[in-house]
């Protein structure tokens, strides 16, 4: 339970209104943001209205969707230069869908401290889940994938593309797509998206 002093201190940062402003700027609804973050639209609405204060992991999940750093939601964020170094030890790993048992990939953001970045880069590790369970998704913008290790099956629309170590692909991310590992060997890739989350 927050004391009145803590509540007033947190309100001064206006994190909720900043989330709402960037969400509207990206023309994204609460339901869509909920799908990307794994948070309920009701919870997101309470956060935006200042009735609930997000934890840092929750705020980071929202920040990753909007391609901004945590400091975007705090004072002085826009005064920093666009230089952001991410140390390997500082990267956080997220599952494709929070709480889901079967996931086709896990990812780490490679550029999360960058403020208002124009693209988002991820290191993704893919699983060998059944092809019919791979979740198709789409988002505005474009996507680039460079396979580091293993074999990646990339489903784009009605087509399936098999990519091997050293292969890359650029495609329209508004077309429904899904990923899965091909074969038994580990598979990882660099994924870069523009104007949208992984």
What is the C-alpha end-to-end distance of the chain, expressed in Å? Answer: 35
pLDDT of residue 77: 47
Q: Confidence band (pLDDT; 50, 70, 90) for 151? A: very high
**Least confident piece of the model among 2-6, 169-173, 188-192, 194-198:** 194-198
- Domain ranges in the chain? 4-79, 88-194
Strand partners, 171: 143
Section 15-40 average pLDDT: 90
pLDDT of residue 132: 62
What is the number of other CB atoms lying within 10 angstroms of the CB of residue 82? 9
4-79, what's its fold?
A: 434 Repressor (Amino-terminal Domain) (1.10.260)
Residue that wins the pLDDT comparison between 136 and 166:
166
Section 150-171 average pLDDT: 95
CATH of domain 88-194: 2.60.120.10
Q: pTM of the prediction?
A: 0.62
pLDDT at 189 over 90: yes
pLDDT tens digits for range 52-92 = 999 999 999 999 898 888 888 886 545 555 677 888 988 88
- CA torsion 170→89→62→120, rounded to 10°? -20
Domains 4-79 and 88-194 share a fold: no
Residue that wins the pLDDT comparison between 11 and 20:
20
pLDDT of residue 160: 93
pLDDT at 48 over 90: yes
| CA 167 – CA 61 distance, rounded (Å) | 29
Section 108-125 average pLDDT: 84
């Amino acid at each position: 339970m927050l004391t009145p002093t803590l509540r007033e201190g947190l309100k001064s940062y206006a994190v909720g209104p900043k989330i709402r402003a960037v969400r509207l700027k990206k023309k994204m609804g609460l339901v869509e943001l909920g799908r990307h973050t794994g948070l309920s639209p009701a919870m997101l609405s309470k956060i935006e209205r200042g009735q609930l204060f997000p934890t840092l992991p929750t705020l980071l999940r929202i920040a990753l969707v909007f391609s901004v750093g945590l400091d975007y939601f705090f004072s002085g964020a826009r005064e920093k230069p666009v230089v952001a170094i991410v140390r390997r030890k500082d990267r956080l790993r997220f599952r494709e869908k929070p709480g889901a048992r079967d996931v086709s990939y896990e990812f780490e953001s490679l550029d999360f401290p960058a403020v208002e970045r124009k693209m988002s880069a991820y290191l993704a590790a893919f699983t060998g889940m059944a092809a019919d369970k791979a979740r198709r998704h789409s988002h505005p913008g474009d996507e680039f994938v460079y396979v580091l290790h293993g074999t990646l099956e990339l489903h784009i629309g009605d087509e399936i593309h098999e990519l091997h170590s050293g292969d890359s692909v650029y495609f329209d991310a508004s077309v429904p797509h899904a990923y899965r590992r091909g074969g038994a060997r580990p598979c990882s890739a660099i994924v870069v998206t523009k104007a949208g989350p992984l």
